[in-house]
C-alpha cells in the first residue's frame, strides 16, 4: 500500500482560505509578543503563514494526531522558541494555556474536520475511495475504531449516528445490512463497507449526490472522534481565552459544524440585557463583534486551486468586551 509519509508537510498540505485567515487574524496580532493558537495544527500550513506574516508573534499549536505534530514540528522548526506544539484535543485549550502559563491570547484558529494528511494516508481509513482498515481515529493511540463502532454498537445507536451526523436518509437500510453482515463476519475494511452500502441503497439514491458512502463515512468519523461534542465545548472556551481585541476564525466543512459555530458566535454578539430596558448597561453589551456576514464561502479560484476548499464555510468574530463579572 502506498503512503505519503515521506513527503514534506509543505508538499502535502494546501491550507484552505489562507489569505482570508491572515486578513482576519492579522489586526489582532500586530502588538509585539501576541500569542495565536492554532487549535487544529494539522500539517502546519496556516501556522507557518501566520508566523511569517507576524515575526513577533508566538504560536501554540494543538493537535490530537501525533503524526501531524511530528510533521508540523519539522515544518515549523525554523521558528525556534516562537512555537510550542502540544498533543491535545482542541476543547482542552483552557487547560493547555494554564499549563503553559499563557494568559489571554490574541488569536484562535480552528480548521475543522479531517486533515489532508489523514485523507491522503489510505491506511488511516478515512477515505471511502481507497480500501483500508476501518480506523478513522485522529489519534490512533486511544478510543474505538470505526470497525469497532460498526461491529459492536446496538442497531438503534448506529441508526441515530448515521441520521444525526451523516444526515443519511437511508440509515435504517444501511444499518440492517451492517447487522446482517456482522452476525457472520465482522466488517473490517472500507471497501467492504462501501460495497455493502451500495447494495443496501435503492438504485435511485445512487444516481445523485456523489459517492453513496460519503454520508456514512462522515457520520462514523464524527462518532469515532467525538467531533461535535468536542466542538460544542471548544468554541465557547476559545472565546473565553481571547483578550479584548482578540479574534477567532473557524473553518467548518459540513452543516452540523457550521450550525454549532454560528450559534456560539451569534450568542456572543447579542445583548444579554433583560427585554424592555431603555438603556443597555455595559455589562449586558455583546462580548463579540461578528467579522463575517453569515458564513463566507470559497470563490471559484480557491476551489480551482484546492478542491478540498469546496465545502468550507468561514466565520469569524472579535472580542470587544470582557466577560460579565
Which residues contribute to the annotated binding site for S-adenosyl-L-methionine?
44-46, 63, 90, 111, 118
Task: Show the cell assigned to 122.
Answer: 489510505
Closest CA to 190 of 220, 167, 165, 166: 220
Only one residue has cell 480551482, namely 304
State how far the Cα of 286 lies from the Cα of 321, in Å rounded to an integer. 7
Rama region for 321: left / alpha / beta (φ>0; ψ in -120 to 50; rest): beta
Please state the residue numbers annotated as binding site.
44-46, 63, 90, 111, 118
Interatomic CA distance for residues 145 and 148, integer angstroms: 5
Q: How far is residue 152 CA from its own chain's centroid?
A: 26
Question: Which of 21, 18, 66 has its CA nearest to residue 42?
Answer: 66
Residues making up the chain, counted from first to last: 325
For residues 159 and 161, what is the distance between their CA atoms, to the nearest angstrom? 5
What does the alpha-carbon distance between residue 268 and residue 318 come to, in Å, rounded to a whole number? 10
- Please, which residues bridge with residue 58 across strands? 35
What would the DSSP string read from start to end of 129-175? TS--BS---SSTTSS--HHHHHHHS-HHHHHHHHHHHH--TTHHHHH
Collapsing DSSP to helix, strand or coil, 188 comes out as coil
d(CA 242, CA 239): 5
Amino acid at each position: 500500500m502506498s503512503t505519503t509519509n515521506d513527503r514534506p508537510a509543505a508538499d502535502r498540505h494546501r491550507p484552505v482560505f489562507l489569505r482570508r485567515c491572515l486578513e482576519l487574524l492579522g489586526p489582532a496580532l500586530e502588538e509585539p509578543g501576541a500569542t495565536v493558537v492554532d487549535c487544529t495544527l494539522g500539517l502546519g500550513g496556516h501556522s507557518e503563514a501566520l508566523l511569517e506574516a507576524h515575526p513577533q508573534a508566538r504560536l501554540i499549536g494543538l493537535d490530537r494526531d501525533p503524526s501531524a505534530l511530528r510533521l508540523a514540528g519539522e515544518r515549523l522548526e525554523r521558528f525556534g522558541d516562537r512555537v510550542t506544539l502540544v498533543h491535545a484535543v482542541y476543547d482542552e485549550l483552557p487547560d493547555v494555556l494554564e499549563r503553559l502559563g499563557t494568559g489571554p491570547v490574541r488569536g484562535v484558529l480552528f480548521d475543522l474536520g479531517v486533515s489532508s494528511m489523514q485523507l491522503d494516508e489510505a491506511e488511516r481509513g478515512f477515505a471511502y475511495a481507497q480500501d483500508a482498515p476501518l480506523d478513522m481515529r485522529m489519534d490512533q493511540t486511544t478510543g474505538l475504531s470505526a470497525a469497532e463502532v460498526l461491529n459492536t454498537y446496538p442497531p438503534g445507536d448506529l441508526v441515530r449516528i448515521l441520521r444525526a451526523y451523516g444526515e443519511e436518509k437511508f440509515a435504517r437500510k444501511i444499518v440492517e445490512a451492517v447487522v446482517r453482515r456482522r452476525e457472520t463476519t465482522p466488517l473490517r475494511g472500507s471497501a467492504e463497507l462501501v460495497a455493502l452500502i451500495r447494495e443496501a441503497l435503492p438504485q435511485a439514491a445512487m444516481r445523485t449526490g456523489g459517492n453513496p458512502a460519503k454520508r456514512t463515512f462522515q457520520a462514523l468519523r464524527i462518532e469515532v472522534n467525538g467531533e461535535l461534542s468536542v466542538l460544542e465545548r471548544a468554541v465557547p472556551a476559545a472565546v473565553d481565552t481571547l483578550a479584548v481585541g482578540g479574534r477567532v476564525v473557524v473553518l467548518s466543512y459540513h452543516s452540523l459544524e457550521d450550525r454549532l459555530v454560528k450559534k456560539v458566535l451569534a450568542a456572543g454578539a447579542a445583548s444579554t440585557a433583560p427585554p424592555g430596558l431603555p438603556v443597555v448597561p455595559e455589562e449586558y453589551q455583546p462580548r463579540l463583534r461578528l467579522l463575517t456576514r453569515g458564513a463566507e464561502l470559497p470563490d471559484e479560484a480557491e476551489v480551482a486551486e484546492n478542491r478540498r476548499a469546496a465545502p468550507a464555510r468561514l466565520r469569524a468574530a472579535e472580542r470587544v468586551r470582557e466577560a460579565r463579572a
